[in-house]
Structure 1
Amino acid sequence: MSDLIEVRMPRYPECWESCGSCASGEVFIIDVLVQPGDVLRADDNLITLETGKVALDIPSPYAGVVVKVHLQVGDKPEAGALIATLIKP
């Protein structure tokens, strides 16, 4: 039987709290790079965030097949937000 894996938004880098330069303005999703049925390897990118100064890709820490994507373009995900559900191959 296959296992479901929840991929969650990582905590923003600590430097964002001390410096704040990269994260000035709102942080929101500008691109969703996966869809249900996609086969991922660990470190494949899931979403791209816009931070006001930089675009930042968020990779999957796991390999698997995308079952559901829980975020969309324009969302402002907090640390711990559910990005996608995968199933182990």
Structure 2
Amino acid sequence: MPKYPECWDSCGSCRTGEVFVQSVLVRNGEKIGTDETLIVLETGKVALDIPSPYAGILVDVRVEEGDPIDEGEVIATVEVD
């Protein structure tokens, strides 16, 4: 999970309550590209797409819809091309 946007700490307007996984858009064994959206986060006021930093095959998707999530958590393991 990448670092949350800096404005979430300075303003706090977008982030209200717990941040959780709204949608998981990928599954184990799927081939993905760099910057392909893996999950969508829900913050209470906004939805935020979280892309993959790598291209490859998803070996282990570690989150499910409704899971709370925080910075630094592992979303998925990717076997890179």
Smaller-chain TM-score bracket: over 0.9
5+ residue gaps in structure 2?
Answer: none
Output the CA distance in 2 between the equivalents of 1:21 and 1:86: 33
Is residue 87 from structure 1 mapped to residue 79 from structure 2 by the alignment? yes
Larger Rg: 1
Amino acid at match of 2:57: V
5+ residue gaps in structure 1?
Answer: 1-8
Q: How many residues align?
A: 81
Amino acid at match of 1:20: G
Output the CA distance in 1 between the equivalents of 2:49 and 2:38: 7
Output the CA distance in 1 between the equivalents of 2:76 and 2:64: 11
Deviation at 1:33, TM superposition (A): 0.6
Match of 2:2 in 1: 10
- Report the 3-state secondary structure (helix = DSSP H, G, I; strand = E; otherwise coil) of the residue aligned with 1:82: coil
Structure having the higher strand fraction is 2
Output the CA distance in 2 between the equivalents of 1:88 and 1:27: 28
Which runs of structure 1 show a deviation greater than 6 angstroms over 4 or more consecutive aligned residues?
none
Match of 1:21 in 2: 13
Match of 1:6 in 2: none
Q: Which has the higher contact order (CA 8 A, sep 6+)?
A: 1
TM-score normalised according to structure 1 size? 0.87
